């Protein structure tokens, strides 16, 4: 049996070495052949062969020289940015935002379109994707994957949107339509899950393998990361905590009907936040404006933050008693606006009413978390495809 596996061993080792080198070039910047050899543990000869192989495939390029001691300067190599592109899309009820990144992760193109005056989701996404690619100086043929972060349920088996309460024109069959239209792989991802991926990559949950992200905005949602993996559930409904039955709010018995809001959403999402603020003299066009005003008001705004924390803690406590995460991240417009003042109050309230006391923090992703999560999801998949094919 061992003999039958031997012919594949050198090829496998080359693939592993190539991927390790490419990952180092992405994370450590331009490197010489000698530096790559030292960091990977490869001999000078093997490292040189590796670089030549990657250069021939167009995955790395020479970007300069590094002066050394005696002898000629050493060539510096980096990953070729244009070897592949990806596009992430943040789909909202009013706008579609698309961003194009090269394979290094640098965002080089962006487009934003209104969805208010159209009933053609394929046309809007197509236009946004093409414009983002054009803004990046490329075209759709170089885009290896498009990932859309969207509200609602994404079926883990089919990848289709099965329910989106505030996107009535989005429907089953849309995924296949988009794939045909764009002629490239297209993937849907729940928007809150995409935000959690961004949080795990560059935000408050970086380096954390178990955490919960609670999104507070128009609606309220949850993303659960368990042992480094997103938990989506059997139907993609894991995290739809707006429908969580909680005390202090009526529980609807026709929750699947479009337009029906769940108990926790009516208690703690944007409309409820504005109502709480109004009771204490704080008004704003958006719920986040109300919360920012309450935070800025100091002592005068504390009743608003206390009441919001009490309401949020009902849902967060239920989450934590089931999942017991060490960390909870408050995200979305309202979560970000509340900052540490709201997060600390939620942490104290959860500890007071349950047997668990997770750390509760505000999001560390300042802008466009859904978009950045979609880009990260696309990049991870495309890097596996492109970097994993080095020995083909």
Q: pLDDT over 90 for what percent of the chain?
A: 78
User: What pLDDT was estimated at residue 4?
Assistant: 43
State yes or no: pLDDT of 1 exceeds 50.
Answer: no
User: Is 391 a residue whose pLDDT tops 60?
Assistant: no
Q: What is the pLDDT of residues 76-135, one digit of tens each?
A: 999 999 999 999 999 988 899 999 999 999 999 999 999 887 778 889 999 999 999 999
Cα–Cα distance, 388 to 381 (Å, whole number): 10
Q: Are 182 and 140 in contact (CB under 8 A)?
A: yes
Cα 372 to Cα 369: distance, rounded to the nearest angstrom: 5
| pLDDT band at 307; cut points 50, 70, 90 | very high
Q: Indicate the range of 5-14, 179-188, 341-350 predicted with least confidence.
A: 5-14
Does the structure show a pLDDT above 70 at 372?
A: yes
Task: Look at residue 221 in the predicted model and tell me its pLDDT.
Answer: 96
Q: How far apart are CA 54 and CA 363, in angstroms?
A: 38
**pLDDT, tens digit (0-9, with 9 covering 90-100), for 261-288:** 889 999 999 999 999 999 999 999 999 9
Do residues 217 and 270 lie in contact, with contact meaning Cβ atoms separated by under 8 Å?
yes
Structure tokens at 298: 């100091």
How far is Cα 234 from Cα 331, in angstroms, rounded to an integer? 25
pLDDT, residue 69, reads 63
- Reported as a single tens digit per residue, the pLDDT across 22-44 is 999 999 989 999 999 999 999 98
What is d(CA 317, CA 325) in angstroms, rounded to the nearest whole number? 11
In this predicted structure, the answer to whether residue 161 has a pLDDT above a threshold of 70 is: yes
Helices assigned H by DSSP within the chain = 2-5, 9-28, 33-40, 44-56, 121-135, 174-182, 191-202, 263-268, 270-279, 287-296, 302-323, 332-353, 369-387
Average pLDDT, the chain: 91
Say what the pLDDT of residue 5 is.
Answer: 42
């Amino acid at each position: 049996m061992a003999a039958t596996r031997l012919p594949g061993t050198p090829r496998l080792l080359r693939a592993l070495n190539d991927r390790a080198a490419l990952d180092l070039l992405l994370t450590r910047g331009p490197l010489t052949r000698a530096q790559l050899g030292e960091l990977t543990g490869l001999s000078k000869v093997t490292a040189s062969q590796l670089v030549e192989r990657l250069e021939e495939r167009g995955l790395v390029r020479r970007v300069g020289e590094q002066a050394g001691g005696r002898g000629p300067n050493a060539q510096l190599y980096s990953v070729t940015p244009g070897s592949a592109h990806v596009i992430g899309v943040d789909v909202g009820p009013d706008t579609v935002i698309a961003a194009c990144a090269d394979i290094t992760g640098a965002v080089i193109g962006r487009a934003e379109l209104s969805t208010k005056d159209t009933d053609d989701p394929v046309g809007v996404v197509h236009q946004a994707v093409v414009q983002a690619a054009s803004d990046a100086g490329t075209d759709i043929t170089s885009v290896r994957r498009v990932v859309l972060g969207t509200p609602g349920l994404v079926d883990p088996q089919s990848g289709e949107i099965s329910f989106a309460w505030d996107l009535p024109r989005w429907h089953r069959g849309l995924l296949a339509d988009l794939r045909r239209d764009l002629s490239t792989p297209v993937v849907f991802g729940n928007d809150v899950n995409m935000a959690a991926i961004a949080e795990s990559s560059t935000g408050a949950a970086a380096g954390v393998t178990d955490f919960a992200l609670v999104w507070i905005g128009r609606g309220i949602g949850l993303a659960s990361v368990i042992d480094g993996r997103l938990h989506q559930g059997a139907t993609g409904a894991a995290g739809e905590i707006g429908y969580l039955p909680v005390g202090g709010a009526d529980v609807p018995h026709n929750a699947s009907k479009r337009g029906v809001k769940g108990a926790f959403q009516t208690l703690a999402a944007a409309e409820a936040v504005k109502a709480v603020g109004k009771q204490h003299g704080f008004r704003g066009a958006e719920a986040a404006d109300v919360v920012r005003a309450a935070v800025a008001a100091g002592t005068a705004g504390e009743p608003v933050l206390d009441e919001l924390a009490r309401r949020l803690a009902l849902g967060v406590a239920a989450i934590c008693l089931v999942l017991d995460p060490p960390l909870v991240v408050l995200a979305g417009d309202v979560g970000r606006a509340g900052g540490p003042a709201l997060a600390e109050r939620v942490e104290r309230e959860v500890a007071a009413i349950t047997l668990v006391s997770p750390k509760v923090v505000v999001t560390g992703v300042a802008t466009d978390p859904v978009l950045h999560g979609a880009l990260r999801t696309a990049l991870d998949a495309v890097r596996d495809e492109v970097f994993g094919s080095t020995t083909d």
